[in-house]
Structure 1
Amino acid sequence: MKWKINSSLGRLVYSKRIGTVEPVFAHICSVLGLNRFPLRGKHKVNTQWLLYCIVHNIIIIHRFAPGFT
């Protein structure tokens, strides 16, 4: 992994990830309060994760597209 990140392509990909993906995880953990999954099983955890992602997307739409809602 260290070799991948230190390559020029790896730095380019990782720099994009920091700006696009990591804030979403931080928002879901801190604002929405998903620190751990209370449910067990892949299907239930996946369903809960998708619901949190839907809530995150609805919040973003509501905040940045007031004419859309």
Structure 2
Amino acid sequence: MRRRIDRPEGRAQYAQRFATVEPVVGNLRANKRLDRFTLRGRTKVDTQWKLYCLVHNIEKLAHAGYAA
């Protein structure tokens, strides 16, 4: 893995991971404890996922100073 990342292509690919969705998923899993969905069914799970994402985005705005 280290050889793959040390190449220019590997560095570019790995850098894209941090700029996209991985920090959000990590935050939801670690800090919000969203390891499993508590509801059943696609529409209910989709609603629960959107609710967690909404909370994540509101917290980002609050930390950026938009909560004043």
Task: Give your verdict on TM over 0.5.
Answer: yes
TM-superposed CA distance for 1:38, in Å, is 1.1
* Structure-2 residue corresponding to 1:3: none
Q: Distance in 1 between matches of 2:53 and 2:39?
A: 16
Matches within 5 A, 1:24-43: 24-43=24-43
TM-superposed CA distance for 1:32, in Å, is 0.9
Give structure 2 stretches of 5+ with no counterpart: 1-8
The answer to whether residue 39 in structure 2 is matched with residue 46 in structure 1 is no
Matches within 5 A, 1:1-69: 12=12, 15-64=15-64, 66=65, 68-69=66-67
TM-score calculated relative to the size of structure 2:
0.73
TM-score calculated relative to the size of structure 1:
0.72
Give structure 1 stretches of 5+ with no counterpart: 1-7
Q: Distance in 2 between matches of 1:23 and 1:57?
A: 12
Q: What number of residue pairs does the alignment pair up?
A: 59
